[in-house]
Amino acid sequence: MQKILFVGAGSMAEALIHGWVEEEVVPAHQLYVTNRSNNERLEYLQNQYGVNILKEHNEIYNMDLIILAMKPKDVKAAFDTIKSFIKPETAILSVVAGIAIETIEQGLGSRPIARVMPNTSAAIGMSASGISFNEQVTQELKTLYLQMLEAIGIVIEVDEDKLHAITALSGSGPAYLYYLLEAWESVGLEFGLSKEVVRKLMVQTIAGSAAMLQSVKEEPDVLRRKVTSPGGTTEAGIRALENNHFTEAISACIKSAEARSRELAKGE
Ligand SMILES: NC(=O)C1=CN([C@@H]2O[C@H](COP(=O)(O)OP(=O)(O)OC[C@H]3O[C@@H](n4cnc5c(N)ncnc54)[C@H](OP(=O)(O)O)[C@@H]3O)[C@@H](O)[C@H]2O)C=CC1
Ligand SMILES: O=C(O)[C@@H]1CCC=N1
């Protein structure tokens, strides 16, 4: 894989570039970026990570891998711009939520196509990614993709239909946790603690809980019960969550995201 082009240069492209360059998975000089119009953004990525800016569309012909990293609504326009410049052997890796392999085949022709659903923690080597392939992806190419994704976190191969669920769970997942932290932080401030202190406590609490789940190998409900003393503070807190329909809210959150991914697949 000598030359890799990101078509779309936003948050997700940057997270992957950051992770791959930092983890020395792909040298920056092999990475190229292009977008619709924001040249400043391309210059920022060039200055920050040492990647190349694609100068003209003819250069697309030299790419070994094209990573699709635009919003789902922009996919069609991007296909129209790039399709006549892509050579038949060039592989495609799409991070676009909801857009099916079949749609990419229709837009860019029959070729090796993989869909990956990473998350923005790829930037620090902590992505949780799901991946699916079409039949033209060789075992060698699969292995390469899995290595590239394992270098920036964990990766799980699934049937393409399950990517909707992975998008809803771990693709969008960081945003749910940041949203939780926003709420947590504002209560901490209400109690008169400094933002710095609350942040330190919450980050450590989340990291510690995740590490406990990973190392102690007990179910979340067992770990939860160990924190919850009868008649104590946690019990009071959990009761308030129940009274405010916490489980229903989380279930609705993830199911709405999954349903939205399916809508995106239909072009809605
Ligand atoms: N952000 C996330 O956490 C995750 C995102 N994804 C997926 O990654 C994709 C990108 O998301 P994100 O990075 O957040 O989006 P951003 O809005 O940050 O970036 C989108 C990029 O696409 C470019 N673009 C738009 N239209 C075209 C076009 N026709 N040709 C070339 N480039 C184009 C934009 O260029 P310009 O600025 O010039 O308009 C911009 O660089 C989405 O499909 C999303 O589903 C997947 C997993 C997680
Ligand atoms: O919100 C989105 O549609 C994308 C997909 C997963 C995370 N961000």
Q: Whose CA is nearest to atom 7 of ligand 1?
A: 96
Has 128 been labeled as part of a binding site? no
| 13-17 LR contacts (CB < 8 Å, sep 24+) | 13/45, 13/67, 13/69, 14/45, 14/123, 15/118, 15/119, 15/120, 15/121, 15/122, 15/123, 15/127, 16/67, 16/69, 16/95, 16/118, 16/122, 16/152, 17/45, 17/49, 17/51
Q: Whose CA is nearest to atom 16 of ligand 1?
A: 10
Mean pLDDT taken over the chain: 96
Read off the pLDDT of residues 2-45 as tens digits, 9 standing for 90 and up: 899 999 999 999 999 999 999 999 999 999 999 999 999 999 99
Q: What is the pLDDT of residue 65?
A: 97
Q: Whose CA is nearest to atom 1 of ligand 2?
A: 172
Q: What is the pLDDT of residue 207?
A: 96
Ligand 1-lining residues (CB < 6 angstroms): 7-13, 35-38, 41, 69-72, 74, 77-78, 81, 95-97, 117-120, 171
CB 15 within 8 A of CB 123: yes
Q: What is the pLDDT of residue 227?
A: 97
Read off the pLDDT of residues 142-168 as tens digits, 9 standing for 90 and up: 999 999 999 999 999 999 999 999 999
Computed over its alpha carbons, how large is the radius of gyration of the chain? 21
Has 72 been labeled as part of a binding site? yes
Other beta carbons within 10 angstroms of residue 11's beta carbon come to 11
- What predicted TM-score, i.e. pTM, was given to this entire model? 0.94
- What is the bridge-based pairing of β-strands 113-117 and 127-133? antiparallel
Q: How far is the CA of 36 from the centre of ligand 1 (A)?
A: 10
Q: What is the pLDDT of residue 116?
A: 98
Token couple for 203: 């980050």
The answer for residues whose C-beta is within 8 angstroms of residue 39's C-beta and 6 or more apart is none
- Residue 135 to residue 65: CA distance in whole angstroms: 17
Residues of the chain where predicted confidence (pLDDT) is lower than 50: none
Q: What is the pLDDT of residue 267?
A: 85
User: Is any ligand 2 atom within 6 A of the Cβ of residue 171?
Assistant: yes
Q: What is the pLDDT of residue 217?
A: 82
- Residue 67 to residue 81: CA distance in whole angstroms: 14
CB 171 within 8 A of CB 119: yes
Pocket test for ligand 1, best of 35, 75, 103, 116 (most atoms within 8 A of CB): 35
Residue ranges of domains in the chain, CATH in brackets: 4-163 (3.40.50.720), 173-265 (1.10.3730.10)
